[in-house]
Amino acid sequence: MHGTVTKSELIERISEKLKLTNGKAEQIVNCVFDSMVKALQDGEGIEIRGFGSFTVREYKAYEGRNPRTGETVQVAPKKLPFFKVGKDLKERVNSAYSAEQPAASPSPAGGVGTSGGGDTSSGGGFSSGY
């Protein structure tokens, strides 16, 4: 399992790639994030082709239980952001992940538990960006 890229690491990567100061890269990252938050607050969806889409899902009020006490509690209605991954991103992540995994050794002929299924990895190596 790999680590997590933080906002400051993202800013640093953008700064290096675009040869910008960290301050300028931070302004860009903040502008993008702020624009996305504002769009979602305004009830708009965000679609980034090949990457995915962000929408706001509404949840009705319901009666829940406090797991500690078992007491019934009213849960207020809420709106939560939802991300649906795009096909290209899914394939790129899966192809990178499958490249890290050692090749599975074939099972012996007639072995127990063989499904006869082939390789389900996408294997698509993308060279273009989004």
pTM of the model: 0.66
The number of distinct structural domains making up the chain is 2
57-79 mean pLDDT: 96
108 lies in some domain = no
Domain that holds residue 10: 1-44
pLDDT in tens, 28-65: 999 999 999 999 999 999 999 999 999 999 999 999 99
In a shared domain, residues 37 and 55: no
121 lies in some domain = no
Of residues 86 and 106, the one with the higher pLDDT is 86
**Quick one: CA dihedral 4, 9, 11, 13, positive or negative?**
negative
pLDDT the model gives residue 47: 97
pLDDT in tens, 89-126: 999 999 988 877 665 555 455 444 444 444 443 333 33
Distance CA 122, CA 127 (A): 15
